[in-house]
Amino acid sequence: DAKTTQPPSMDCAEGRAANLPCNHSTISGNEYVYWYRQIHSQGPQYIIHGLKNNETNEMASLIITEDRKSSTLILPHATLRDTAVYYCIVRVAGNQFYFGTGTSLTVIP
Amino acid sequence: DTAVSQTPKYLVTQMGNDKSIKCEQNLGHDTMYWYKQDSKKFLKIMFSYNNKELIINETVPNRFSPKSPDKAHLNLHINSLELGDSAVYFCASSQAEWYGYTFGSGTRLTVV
């Protein structure tokens, strides 16, 4: 599975949109982009995934560039409860999830 | 109505002991996993089971032995515990190959 690069940390003001970037320049055509988050001391939580189209669910939106070499997870109105480590993972369907170091997002009141 | 439940939540034990961590999922998923998160917060897959059959074993010492009595349960037995085994262990399950995983809340193992 392709590697991903994420900034180690980000801050976001409460109520504003949090935009978390991820680079995956070596992604191949059959690899999906997944996002998880891990709130302190809890198990990772699946957020969203996509192949090439933008996706939206009740938690977030996923924007994937046309060349698929990068993506952005958008939390439209960040709350304090969104403070967590966010992991961007690229994988072929059926393979395991290999977690990197992620982005530590802090939502500031 | 917990989806993936692990017991115990905390486990403190002495070096050399044998211990087990239990995991159960009520989601009807076919595949279950064990992950280890070390002190540096790095999450690493250990085992993957599909319908009671071992699919992957990621260079884990053979002191660790997963056991799946049925597809809803995947227990982790650890023999001769060492200090380096101290970590948080997460169980997870998935429905199909393209879906995300549902994780349990973790078991914090401390070996003293």
Six token digits for residue A76 = 């439209």
Q: Is the pLDDT at B47 greater than 70, yes or no? A: yes
**pLDDT reported for residue A69:** 95
Are A36 and B100 an interchain contact pair (Cβ–Cβ within 8 Å)? yes
Question: How confident is the model at residue A99, as a pLDDT?
Answer: 87
* Digit-coded pLDDT (tens) for A5-52: 999 999 999 999 999 999 999 998 889 999 999 998 899 999 999 999
Per residue in A19-31, pLDDT (tens digit) is 999 999 999 888 9
Say how many CB pairs under 8 Å bridge A and B.
48
Residues of B within 8 A of A47 (CB-CB) are 100
Q: Is the per-residue pLDDT at B17 higher than 70?
A: yes
pLDDT at A93 over 80: no
Task: Extract the tokens encoding B3.
Answer: 């989806």
Instruction: Please state whether the peptide bond connecting residue A7 to the residue before it is cis, i.e. omega within 30 degrees of 0.
Output: no
A42 vs B35, B48, B105: nearest CB: B105
Tens-digit pLDDT profile for residues B91-102: 999 987 677 899
3-class state of residue A81 by DSSP:
helix
A97 contacts B101? CB cut-off 8 A? yes
Confidence category of residue A2, pLDDT binned at 50, 70, 90: low
CA nearest to B108, candidates B22, B4, B8, B19: B8
Q: What is the pLDDT of residue A1?
A: 62
pLDDT above 90: residue A97: no
pLDDT attached to residue A98:
83
Residues A46, B44: C-beta atoms closer than 8 Å: no
Cβ–Cβ contacts within 10 Å for residue A2, how many? 17
Testing the interface with B: which of A48, A52, A97 to mutate, by most B Cβ within 10 A?
Answer: A97
Q: In the predicted model, what is the mean pLDDT of residues A102-107?
A: 97
Q: How far is CA B21 from the centre of its chain?
A: 7
Q: How far apart are CA B60 and CA B66, in angstroms?
A: 11
Residue B2 has pLDDT above 80, yes or no: no
Torsion angle defined by CA atoms of residues A7, A9, A14 and A17, in that order, rounded to the nearest 10 degrees: 0
